[in-house]
Amino acid sequence: MADKLNIITQNLQEVLNDQIIKHVIEVEQRPLKIYWGTAPTGRPHCGYFVPMTKIAHFLQAGCHVTVLLADLHAFLDNMKAPLDLVAYRVKYYERIIKSMLTSIGVPIDKLAFVVGSTYQLSEKYTMDIFRLSSLVTQNDAKRAGADVVKQVESPLLSGLIYPLMQALDEQHLDVDAQFGGVDQRKIFVLAEEYLPSLGYKKRAHLMNAMVPGLTQGGKMSSSDPNSKIDLLDSAKTVTKKIASAFCAPGVIEGNGLIAFVEYVLLPISKLSVTNIGDEKLLVEKEAKFYIDRPEKWGGPIEYSSIEQLKEDFASDKLSPQDLKQGISDAINKLLDPIREEFNNDPSFKELEAKAYPPAVVAKPAKKKEKVLGSKYLEAMEAKKKRETEKAVGDAATGDSVDEVAAKVLETTITE
């Protein structure tokens, strides 16, 4: 029992209400039911390997795992995904997540995928939103979504509904725990505080650390192309991005590359699949992170613990260049099966093209001010000419020069 708890909670930054997990495992003696949700917005990137490794751990511990493809959340988050694209992105996310898990040897036959709109539009769910919105203040809802929902100067009401729905998903998916990044913490706390007011039980919450991006500061994000490595990036592109990533010699804090080794590469290297009868089970082996370092700099080196790697990096025994070489090789090894599946499957390519069509660049509209300015100059030129010819006015027409200019301007504005 203790082994299951250790597997479920390993490599997590924080766990809320772990007594719920213990009760399910030790007292009820049944599989823990847990869900991880993702809103299908931007293209998934290598940062998604962090939750994938935890999903592997949950399956290893015998948990019933549900992946929520939160299509309505994707639209509510400041309309990151237009409704006409959401359906394609849901299918693409499911396909790429399965491909990621398969690439690291995780059996997916016991993994359930649920699309949010299949139950979030039901009468009961809608009534629960109304009930919850009558309890949660605007400030509480805004604070809960502050680290997740896109923040803009004039926020939309949809951003306040987002955290309420995420809290209700725990009840309507009938789970014991929700898993997500530590950036979800405020939403998790909202769920713990308000679900009991609706007569629903508290859930446990498990949070993984957020892996820093490749640039200095911030997390790996779909909205920042320089901070991430896409799952379909070529080997050459991966190597180039890693080579240009921020990695100050001897600096551990905020180092996205070291964090990637700690939360992705080492945990994945420990995963192994064994066959027991017709069933495939995940087991652990010794962790390994290999760096093919040139002989003139000490030769190849292998790490089995993040502590040793951090110690060597802090003391300059491991250079940023060698670290980057090892990470580039490891990431390309991870991505090779995904790229191969994508390149050899026309339906996969078609789905990606429909989910992320090329952006249409609109032609800039002509500025009215420029047109008006041009007409104004013509009017002033006419005025100057008339003033030169006749100091008083035009005796033939009876119009003054100012009146001529005014008529030109009036015509311009009317157009």
Across 39-189, where does the E strand assignment appear? Answer: 64-69, 111-115, 177-181
Bridge partners, residue 112, by sequence? 66
So what's the pLDDT on residue 149? 77
So what's the pLDDT on residue 225? 66
So what's the pLDDT on residue 377? 64
Q: How far apart are CA 262 and CA 345, in angstroms?
A: 33
So what's the pLDDT on residue 379? 67
So what's the pLDDT on residue 415? 45
User: At 128, which amino acid appears?
Assistant: D
Asked whether the beta carbons of 102 and 337 are under 8 A apart, the reply is: yes
Q: How far apart are CA 337 and CA 362, in angstroms?
A: 37
Q: How far apart are CA 76 and CA 72, in angstroms?
A: 6
The angle subtended at Cα 183 by Cα 59 and Cα 261, nearest 5°, is 60
Record the tokens describing residue 198, joined without a space: 């609706």
How far does the chain reach from its first CA to its final CA, in angstroms?
Answer: 80
User: At 331, which amino acid appears?
Assistant: I
So what's the pLDDT on residue 110? 86
So what's the pLDDT on residue 390? 57
So what's the pLDDT on residue 414? 45
Q: Find where tokens 């007594």 sit.
A: 19
- Residue partners of 207: CB distance under 8 A and separation at least 6: 12, 13, 14, 15, 16, 179, 180, 181, 182, 184, 185, 188
| pTM for the whole structure | 0.81
pLDDT along the chain (415 residues), means of 10: 87 95 96 96 92 94 96 81 88 97 90 97 97 95 84 77 96 98 95 97 96 72 73 95 93 92 93 71 84 92 96 96 96 96 97 90 59 61 65 49 50 45
The angle subtended at Cα 353 by Cα 210 and Cα 342, nearest 5°, is 70
